[in-house]
Structures are given as C-alpha cells and as structure tokens.
C-alpha cells in the first residue's frame, strides 16, 4: 500500500512540474493564437466600457453608429453599427473641407472685381461700372469702402452709366435642395450668391446683424442694422415697457421678402437683443452697400443711371479688385464656428474650378470623388449639400474614421487639424463649438473634433490621444433620438477613449 501511495505521489509531482514548465515556456514565448486572444481581450474591455454607456435610456429607440481606429495604422478597434448609413449633420463639413484643401489648395483665394465697359474722361466714368463677385464669403463693408476709395484715387467722382452687380460666377440657385423652409430666414440657412456680403468677422455671408435696444424717448425699441442698408425693410412692432418687466423680443425675416419683423416688449432697463437675419437675394444687398461706399467716397451716379444686375462683358477693363484671405485661414471660422454658408460656397467654388459650373450638383461631384480617393466607399454615401443641413446626407461612422485616417498623409493635413474645435479651449476661435465641452483632464486641449447638430441628430468625429500616448480616431453618429441632448453620452465615450489603457 505504501508503495502504491508513493507511486501516486511521484506521478502527481511529475504532472504538476510539467504544467509549470509548459506555463513558463508559453509565458516567455507566446504563440500567435495567444497574441490574438490577448488583443481580443483588450478590445473586449474597450467594447464593454462603450457598450455600457450606450445603454443610456436617452438612446432608447435611437440609432448610434460608432467607429474607433488607431491613428497610426487605421485599424478599426471598435465598431457599433459602424457601417450603417446615418445623417452626419455638420460632420459633413469634414468632407467639404478635405475636398476644398485637396482641390483648391490651402492658399486659394476668392476675388471681387470692379470693372467698366467705358472710359474715364476727366472725373467722369462714361460707361457702366460692374461689381463682379467670385464667391468671396468674407467680403465686408470696409472692403467695399477700399474698392470705392481706389476708384476715387483714379480720379473718378461721377459715373454716367449703370451700377451693375454680376453674380454669374455661380448659378442662380440660392438654396440647397433640402434646406428646410423654417431655416431659410436665419443665418444658418442664408442664401448663396457669388456676390455677397458679411456683416462682421464671423463671416456669415448674406446676413445683416439686427440689434434691438431700449428707447428712452419713444414707444418702440431702437433698431440698428450692421451694416446699414436700405435693402431690407424693418417692420418695428415692439413696445417699450417699464423697467423690471420681462423682455420678449423676436426678430425674423418674412419668407420671400426682405421685411424683417421685430415684435415683443422691451423694458426700459432691458439688455440688447441681437440676431443675424439672412437677406433675400444677397446680390442686391452687396450692391446696395457698395453704392453707399461710392457715395461716402464722393462718387455719384448721374444722368439716367440705374442699379441693376447683369454679366460683365469679356472685354471689360479691370479698375480694382480685392482678394480674400487664403483658404487655410478661412477654414478656422468655417470649421470652428461651423459656418454653413462657407460650406456651400466651397461646394459651388469647387464645381466652378473643376467642372466650369458653380452649382451644387457639380461641386458635390468633386466632394464625392475626393472622398472616394480617401477610402470612403461610394456605395455607402449620399451627399446633398456641403454643410450637413440636409436630412438626406448619409455616411457611416466607419467611413468617416477612414477619411480622417487617410487625410493624415496629405500635405495640407495640418491645416485641417488646426481648423477643428479644441475641447475646453475658452477662446472662441480655438475651442469653437467644443469650448464648453470636455473640460478638465484628460480631454481638455486633447480632443479635437467636429461637432454636428440637427433635429434628432448629434454627431462628433475627430481625434483623441490616450494617457499612454496612443492616438485614436473616432466618429459618433447619434440619430433619431427624440428628446434632450446626447452630448453628455458622446463626451463620456470620448473620455473613455482618453482614459483607456492597453493591458
């Protein structure tokens, strides 16, 4: 019996020691299959964390597409419905900006020209004066003043001919195909013209700033326009009320006209109410303000001169011109502030440059071609505008991260990266639409991404670096939620990526 026990003990000892040797050997030299198992365990850990966040009841009944890639290799390490076509909202601007940089180049500039088909005799320009727009969305009143001043320096004080606005650089379609009727009166849905004007350095082309303030000496509030223009008609229906009462002011342009209706009550101690109202037919708006600039520089129209519209003759003489800032500078207000007008102008400009037609149709062809060259699957996307205002734009999250991966190899990538909003950065033209989000460690100043928002749509796509120095590309597309905001859920997901540590 003792011999049997001894043999059993020896057998067990051999088995145990063999297991130890095998375990030690595998630990020092893991097989490929075990490396894959470790990778799956790591990915699973990330998957578990994000999936837990997606159980939030605010996402009940909604659709969420998420893709996460390694920035250095493009490997997709997490996907949740990443291949479902969803509305990108203003994440569409990532495609537009990339296509513009690829097609036009970072140093591309728009121009505005003043030409004539006549001759200058003494101080009189005998012939028509043309203000020809070539799409510049950054043209300001002060730029028109400079153009008028240049004419004055050439000795012109009178124009015996018509003042003609030329917007033929683009087609005459003012609004993108799917723009909602309810968005059209506001700066987010401003009309697009090759000849347009911005009221300030946010460059919301085709809009005027309407300011309503208390009036100590009247029954109605005061109204101020920037820039001043007679092209729009202010209908003041406000009422001044005693100090301490509530303020209730609405400012809205009437659809199909330039009647801007201002209603409500303004208390004597009330604060300013300010709104950016879009202009119906912005070509006439730019022309009206230019006429003011001419008059302020002592240049007047004489005889039977009219202010009208038309194409500049091919043999017209250039008198003066103004070039815009280069594209890489324009990208900052465009992307940081999510300027819809800039997106649509860029669409038409790409169509004009590539296909000789400044239209949405031809411009969107350019964007699609560039997106495909960057690895986006053409069978996955539907492009209807450049800004993302359309509810008929479609792209999957995985294709957005693929685009953001591929652009890193382009020479112009640093300009695109610089244009993206920076999480928690308080300066408006740095933080942009992310300046009040993702504050504190480890996301503030670390996350750079494009936001997007429409009714029932919220999106966020960009770059984040983990605490271990691993750079991730991510895209989060939330669609079809009905109430509240899902920004907090997006922020939690991105924070999870920033905090993530590989085992």
- Among residues 298, 323, 348, which one ends one of the domains? 323
pLDDT tens digits along 349-402: 999 999 999 999 999 999 999 999 999 999 999 999 999 999 999 999 999 999
- Verify that 394 and 263 share a domain, yes or no: no
> What was the pLDDT predicted at 434?
98
Together in a domain, 85 and 54:
yes
Using one digit for the tens of pLDDT, what is the confidence trace for 43-77? 458 999 999 999 999 999 999 999 999 999 999 99
Q: Which residues contact 355 (CB under 8 A, 6 or more apart)?
A: 362, 365, 366
Asked whether residue 202 is domain-assigned, the answer is: no
| Whether the predicted pLDDT of 455 surpasses 50 | yes
Is the domain of 334 the same as that of 315? no
For residues 373 and 34, give the distance between their C-alpha atoms in angstroms, rounded to a whole number.
36
Q: Are residues 65 and 132 in the same domain?
A: no
Q: Comparing C-alpha atoms, which of 284, 320, 95 is closest to residue 208?
A: 284
Structure tokens at 139: 């043209």
Domain finish residue from 247, 278, 309: 278
Instruction: Decide which of 297, 323, 349 is a domain's last residue.
Output: 323
Distances (CA, A) of 70 to 343, 362, 474, 497: 28, 34, 9, 11
Q: How far apart are CA 256 and CA 184, in angstroms?
A: 9
- Using one digit for the tens of pLDDT, what is the confidence trace for 270-312? 999 999 999 999 999 999 999 999 999 999 999 999 999 999 9
Does residue 449 have a pLDDT over 70? yes
Q: Does residue 199 belong to any structural domain of this protein?
A: no
> What pLDDT sits at residue 39?
41
CA atoms within 13 A on the CB side of 412: 19
Q: Do 286 and 352 belong together in one domain?
A: no
Instruction: Please check whether residues 265 and 294 belong to one and the same domain.
Output: no
For residues 42 and 184, which has the higher predicted lDDT (pLDDT)? 184
Which residue among the candidates 90, 193, 198, 387 is catalytic per the annotation? 90
Does 178 fall in a domain? no
Residue 241: which domain range?
207-278
Is residue 8 included in any domain, yes or no?
Answer: no
Q: Are 383 and 367 in contact (CB under 8 A)?
A: yes
Instruction: Write the CATH number for 371.
Output: 3.40.710.10
Place of tokens 């012109």: 156
Contact between 104 and 327 under an 8 Å Cβ cutoff? The reply is yes
Whether the ω angle into residue 227 lies within 30 degrees of 0, i.e. cis, is: yes
For range 313-327, the mean pLDDT:
98
Query: Does the active-site annotation cover 321?
Result: no
Asked whether residue 180 is assigned to any structural domain, the reply reads no
The answer to whether position 192 is within a domain reads no
pLDDT of residue 501: 85
Q: Looking at residue 321, what is its pLDDT?
A: 98
Question: Angle of helix 327-336 relative to helix 340-355, nearest 10 degrees?
Answer: 140
CA dist., res. 382 & res. 5, Å (int): 77
User: Do 334 and 391 share a structural domain?
Assistant: yes
- pLDDT, tens digit, 9 for 90 and up, residues 191-206: 999 999 999 999 999 9
pLDDT of residue 33: 44
Give CA torsion, residues 285, 286, 287, 293, to 10 deg. 120
Of 67, 176, 198, 338, the active-site residue reads 338
3-state DSSP assignment of residue 45:
helix
Residues 490 and 360 in one domain: yes
φ and ψ of 327, to 5 deg? -55, -40
Is 382 contained in some domain?
A: yes
* Among 241, 195, 198, CA closest to 221: 241
Q: What is the structure's pLDDT at 44?
A: 53
Whether residue 95 is found in the same domain as residue 53: yes
| Strands 119-121, 124-126: pairing kind | antiparallel
Lowest mean pLDDT among 392-396, 475-479, 480-484: 480-484
pLDDT for 160 equals: 97
- In the chain, the number of structural domains is 3
Task: Specify if 228 maps to a domain.
Answer: yes
Q: What's the CATH code of the domain at 142?
A: 3.50.80.20
Q: Please say if 90 is a catalytic residue.
A: yes
Q: What percent of the chain shows pLDDT beyond 90? A: 89
Q: Are residues 288 and 274 in the same domain?
A: no
167 phi and psi angles, rounded to 5 deg: -115, 20
- Residues 357 and 460 placed together within one structural domain of the fold: yes
CA atoms of 371 and 403, how far apart (whole Å):
7
User: Are residues 84 and 62 both part of a single domain?
Assistant: yes
Mean pLDDT of the chain: 92
Active site residue 158: no
Mean pLDDT of 425-453: 98
Residue 28 banded pLDDT, cuts 50, 70, 90: very low
């Amino acid at each position: 019996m003792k011999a049997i026990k001894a043999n059993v003990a020896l057998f067990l000892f051999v088995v145990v020691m063999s297991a130890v040797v095998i375990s030690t050997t595998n630990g020092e030299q893991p097989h490929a299959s075990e490396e894959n198992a470790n990778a799956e365990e790591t990915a699973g850990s990330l998957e578990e964390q994000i999936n837990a966040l997606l159980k939030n009841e605010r996402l009940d009944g909604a659709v969420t597409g998420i893709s996460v890639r390694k920035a250095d290799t493009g490997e997709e390490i997490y996907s949740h419905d990443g291949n479902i076509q969803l509305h990108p909202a203003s994440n569409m601007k990532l495609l537009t900006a990339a296509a513009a940089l690829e097609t036009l180049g970072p140093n591309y500039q728009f121009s505005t020209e003043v030409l004539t088909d006549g001759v200058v005799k003494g101080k009189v320009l005998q012939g028509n004066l043309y203000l020809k727009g070539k799409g510049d969305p950054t043209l300001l009143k002060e730029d028109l003043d400079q153009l008028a001043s240049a004419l004055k320096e050439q000795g012109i004080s009178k124009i015996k001919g018509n003042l003609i606005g030329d917007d033929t650089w683009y087609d005459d379609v003012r609004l993108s195909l799917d723009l909602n009727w309810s968005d059209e009166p506001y700066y987010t849905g401003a009309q697009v013209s090759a000849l347009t004007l911005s009221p300030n350095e946010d460059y919301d082309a085709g809009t005027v700033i309407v300011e309503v303030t208390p009036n100590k000496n009247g029954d109605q509030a005061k109204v101020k326009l920037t820039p001043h223009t007679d092209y729009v008609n202010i209908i003041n229906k406000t009422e001044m009320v005693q100090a301490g009462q509530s303020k209730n002011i609405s400012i809205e342009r009437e659809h199909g006209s330039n009647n801007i209706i201002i209603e409500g009550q303004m208390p004597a101690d009330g604060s300013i109410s300010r709104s950016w109202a879009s202009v119906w037919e912005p070509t006439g708006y730019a022309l009206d303000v230019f006429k003011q600039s001419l008059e302020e520089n002592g240049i007047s129209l004489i005889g039977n001169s009219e202010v009208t519209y038309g194409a500049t003759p091919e043999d017209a003489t250039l008198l003066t011109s103004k070039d815009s800032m280069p594209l890489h500078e324009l990208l900052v207000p465009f992307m940081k502030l999510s300027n819809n007008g800039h997106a649509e102008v860029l669409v038409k400009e790409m169509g004009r440059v590539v296909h000789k037609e400044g239209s949405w149709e031809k411009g969107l062809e350019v964007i699609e071609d560039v997106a495909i060259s960057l690895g986006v699957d053409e069978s996955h996307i539907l492009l209807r505008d450049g800004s993302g205002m359309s509810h008929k734009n479609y792209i999957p999250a995985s294709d957005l991260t693929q685009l953001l991966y591929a652009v890193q190899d382009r020479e112009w990538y640093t300009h695109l990266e610089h244009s993206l909003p920076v999480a928690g950065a308080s300066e408006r033209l740095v933080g942009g639409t992310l300046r009040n989000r993702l504050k504190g460690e480890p996301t503030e100043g670390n996350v750079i991404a494009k936001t997007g928002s429409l009714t029932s749509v919220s999106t966020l796509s960009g770059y984040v670096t983990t605490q271990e120095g691993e750079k991730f590309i991510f895209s989060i597309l939330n669609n079809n939620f009905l109430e509240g905001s899902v920004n907090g859920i997006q922020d939690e997901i991105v924070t999870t990526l920033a905090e993530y540590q590989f085992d």
